[in-house]
């Protein structure tokens, strides 16, 4: 049986999603809604096998064990505890992670 994890979005990750929505909505609100829904689908897919995604390069600077899932131009940064995946940030791929 596949182990299931609980997926929690931090307040900062929720704010990131809102900012992405509003940025895209400046052009087309329908596109913004669809894009964020797809991002959320990817985020909640981490309820199974979250270890499948790679560790981030910034770990060596922060002494962390964060992973990321890439969706189009965005990085979903997260960490795994015993039974929970914490979504820390959703940032544009060109940005470096800031803690």
Q: What percentage of the chain carries pLDDT values higher than 90?
A: 82
pLDDT for the residue 96: 74
Average pLDDT over the chain, rounded to whole?
94
| Closest to 74 in 3D by CA, of 9, 8, 13, 11 | 13
Give residue 27's pLDDT: 84
Please tell me the predicted confidence (pLDDT) of residue 98. 73
The pLDDT of residue 75: 96
pLDDT at 29 exceeding the cut of 80: yes
Report the pLDDT value the prediction gives residue 47, as an integer from 0 to 100. Answer: 97
- What is the SS3 assignment for 40-94? HHHHHHHHECHHHCCECCCHHHHCCCCEEEEECCEEEEEEECCCEEEEEEEEECC
Cα gap 50→60, rounded to integer Å: 20
Domains of the chain, earliest start first = 6-92 (3.30.2310.20)
pLDDT band at residue 99 under the 50/70/90 scheme: low
32-51 pLDDT tens trace:
999 999 999 999 999 999 99
């Amino acid at each position: 049986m596949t182990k299931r994890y609980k997926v929690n979005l931090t307040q900062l990750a929720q704010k990131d999603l809102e900012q992405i929505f509003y940025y895209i909505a400046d052009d087309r609100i329908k596109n913004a809604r669809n894009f964020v829904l797809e991002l959320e689908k990817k985020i909640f897919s981490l309820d199974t096998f979250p270890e499948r995604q790679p560790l981030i390069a910034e770990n060596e600077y922060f002494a962390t064990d964060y992973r990321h899932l890439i969706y189009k131009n965005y990085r979903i940064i997260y960490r795994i505890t015993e039974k929970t995946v914490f979504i820390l940030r959703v940032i544009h791929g060109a940005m470096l992670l800031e803690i």
